[in-house]
Structure 1
C-alpha cells in the first residue's frame, strides 16, 4: 500500500511506492537491452508475462497510461524506457502527467500555440 500523497495529484515516489512498483520498474529497465526491446516489440504480452506485474500495472502499460504507471510505483526514469520503444514523444507524457491534453499542454506549459 502506498502512502498518502502530500501534494494533490502528485504521486510521491517514497519507499512504499517504490516497493509496490518494483516489478514495473524491473520490466521497464529490461528495455535497456536490445534483447529486451526486441522481445517487447515482438510480443508485448509475452514480455510482460516475464514480470510479476499487478493487473493494474499491466493494464497501465498496455494503455500507455503514463500517469497511472507512476501512481502505481513506476519511476519516471524507468517508465520513459517504454516510450523509447513505443515511441511516444516526451511532450505527450508531460501532458499526461499534467492531466492535460497535448494541445492544452503545449499552449499553457510550453508557451507554444499551434494551429493543428
Structure 2
C-alpha cells in the first residue's frame, strides 16, 4: 500500500524539476573536477554565468539557500558538491531543508543533546 500524500513544503524531484534544474545540476556536478572548483572559488558569479544559470538560481547558489536550490530543480546529491567546496557540514544542509536551526535539528532529528 503506497501513500501518495505530499509532505508539506517538500519539493518533488520529478521530470519537470529535473528539466528546470538541468543547468544547476550540470554546474554542481562539474565541481567534481579540481579546475572547476578553482574557477568556482575564484569568481563564483562568472562560473555560474558560464553554465547559463538564471538570476533566481544564481542567487540561491550564491546565498547557499539549499532549500531554494532543491525547489528550483536541484538534485540534492549534486548540490552536495557545492557544499563540499565551502565546506558546509551536511547537518547544516539538513537543518536548512527542515527549516530549523542546526541546534534544534541536532536535538529533534538526531537526538543529540547540547554539551
With structure 1 as the length reference, what TM-score do the two structures score?
A: 0.92
Q: How does 1:37-56 map to 2 (within 5 A)?
A: 37-56=37-56
Q: Tell me how far apart the structure 2 counterparts of residues 113 and 43 of structure 1 sit (CA, whole Å).
A: 39
Structure 1 residue runs of 4 or more that deviate by more than 4 Å after TM superposition = none
Q: How does 1:76-95 map to 2 (within 5 A)?
A: 76-95=76-95
Kindly indicate whether structure 1 or structure 2 has the higher relative contact order, using CA contacts under 8 Å at least 6 residues apart. Answer: 2
SS at 1:32's partner residue?
Answer: coil
- Offset from partner CA, 1:2-37 (integer Å, 9 cap, x none): xxx932111110000000000100110110101110
1:11 aligned residue: 11
Q: Tell me how far apart the structure 1 counterparts of residues 6 and 13 of structure 2 sit (CA, whole Å).
A: 11
Matched, 1:75 2:72: no
Q: Tell me how far apart the structure 2 counterparts of residues 46 and 10 of structure 1 sit (CA, whole Å).
A: 30
Give structure 2 stretches of 5+ with no counterpart.
none
1:61 aligned residue: 61
SS at 2:9's partner residue?
Answer: coil
Displacement of 1:55? 1.1
With structure 2 as the length reference, what TM-score do the two structures score?
A: 0.92
Give structure 1 stretches of 5+ with no counterpart.
none
Tell me the matched-pair count: 111
